[in-house]
Amino acid sequence: MAEVTYREAMSAVLAEYLEKDDRVFIMGEDIGAYGGSYAVTKGFLERYGEERIRDAPIAESVIAGAGLGAALGGMRPIVELMTINFSLLAMDQIVNHAAKLRYMSGGQFSIPLVIRTVSGGGNRLGAQHSQSLEGWYAHVPGLKVAVPSSPYDAKGLFRAAMEDNNPVLFVEHSLLYGVRGEVPEGYYEVPLGRSALSRQGTDVTVVSYSRMAHLCRQVAEKLAGEGVSCEVVDLRCLRPLDLAPVFQSVTKTHRVVLVEETWATGGFMGEVASQIMTQAFDHLDAPVVRVAGKEVPMPYSRPLELAALPDEESIAQAIRDILA
């Protein structure tokens, strides 16, 4: 298998669908001449033209609404919102319309809409541009929320999203674009709503998603040198949510550490913890431990930003503590 970056995997799968389906087009801010804020659509305007690569004004509600209308009209749009922070300006279109129209129409309408967006901190972009809000959208029935942590999952999950007739919020982390990983050359899909057992272990179950899942795999490798065996589960999707691998892992390890980048209060891992307590309580030998970001708006200062985010050491220490 070829080793590619997360960015290259996303660029390749976008090009794949533009080339094989005339109903597909991409619409968003700076995706054309600029090549995308994270260079994922670099060269696309020259290759596919203005009809397929549509630079949009700074108007997220219009972008999401136009994408929704195009999906209702039989197109298969890919809408790009520059960051998930800006999706707040399009919440009515996403939550009140895209997520509900198929249900409210009794299945008469399909909404084959993929909304690409970027989440997470670590780029010194300040409090208004560094939030991880994917858990908010996972709260909404009718939406699917994908949060890939590797190039393999990014490409496979995006294919599954494009083949789905429901709206999918496809959330990429800004610090993952340079991460490299093996990706098959042939066609494959990663089903939406199927978690992955990233690493087998016996001492503790570590559950996460997106960039934190990537960090958890690195922590597990390092702790193996200390004689600690971590089993890592990558959720890959927040809705549909597949916790069967987590429950199965808990019956083996009897300890769980849940890791997410956003704030613990109202965080998505609170739901995961609740379901573990309901479904696997008798197998726990210690309380469920959560690792999350600090309860502050993201600082601009680099040292403070790093202090606000979970890192490898804070994850490793949580694992050591639960084993102690």
Q: Which of 8, 29, 97, 129 is catalytic?
A: 129
Rounded CA-CA distance 275/195 in Å is: 15
129 catalytic? Reply is yes
Helix (H) or strand (E) holding 249, with range, is helix 244-253
Scan for tokens 């080339």, then name that residue: 19
Helix (H) or strand (E) holding 171, with range, is strand 168-173
Angle made by CA atoms 319, 300, 34, in degrees to the nearest 5: 105
Amino acid at 317: Q
254 catalytic? Reply is no
CB 175 within 8 A of CB 122: yes
CB 4 within 8 A of CB 186: no
Rounded CA-CA distance 134/132 in Å is: 6
Length of the chain: 324
Helix (H) or strand (E) holding 198, with range, is strand 196-199
Asked, as a colleague might, if the bond just before 240 is cis with ω within 30 of 0, I would say: yes
Residues facing 207 on adjacent strands: 233, 258
Helix (H) or strand (E) holding 103, with range, is helix 101-104
- Quick one: tokens of 147? 């949060």
DSSP structure class, residue 176: G
Pairing of β 230-234 and β 196-199: antiparallel
Rounded CA-CA distance 58/27 in Å is: 12
Q: Which of 60, 231, 261, 305 is catalytic?
A: 60
Catalytic residue numbers?
Answer: 60, 129
